[in-house]
Amino acid sequence: MAEMTINGLVEGGKATSGPPFGPALGPLGVNIAGIVAEINEKTKAFEGMKIPVKVIVDTATKSFRVEVGSPSTSALILKELGIPNGAKTKETVAGNITLDQVKKVAKAKENGMYGNTFADKAKQVLGTCKSMNITCDGVDAMAIIAKIKSGEIRIQ
């Protein structure tokens, strides 16, 4: 069984027969429209976000499977806040996320994150917030991380 894997980054629900998949799939003689339809179906929940997608084609039988990755932590944070991007300067605060929203992002990324506990994963999300200059519950994300470490805030 000879398999070929094509990787690409597509906007959720908006894959087309153009790049990155169309030109790579064309020579394989597979149903490009069917593959694009499956990609769009599997990524429609991530509308407005770039999603990593892998198409694995069995070159002998022309069968395929589509595997959808997870959007980046920063993309999930931006979607949660409804903003286009993080701050451009250190002096500008791009937005404010709640601890519940941090938990929601950590839950969505849980399988792709390091850390032994859910609190460790929430701290990673908060670290991303810090890098984007997004506050959490009105304060610097690092202050929330310190409160989690000290036990003042408990994450379950």
Model-level pTM?
A: 0.72
Same fold, 3-68 and 73-150: no
Mean per-residue pLDDT pooled into runs of 10, the chain (156 residues): 88 90 90 94 86 92 91 90 87 93 92 89 96 95 95 90
What is the CATH topology of the domain spanning 73-150?
A: Arc Repressor Mutant, subunit A (1.10.10)
Name the CATH superfamily housing domain 3-68: Ribosomal protein L11/L12, N-terminal domain (3.30.1550.10)
pLDDT attached to residue 126: 97
Q: By three-state DSSP, how is residue 140 classified? A: coil
Cβ(122)–Cβ(107) below 8 Å:
no
pLDDT attached to residue 100: 95
Please give the helix or strand (H or E) that residue 108 lies within, else none. Answer: helix 99-109
pLDDT attached to residue 85: 85
Question: Domain locations in the chain?
Answer: 3-68, 73-150
Measured distance CA(35)–CA(47) in Å, rounded: 18
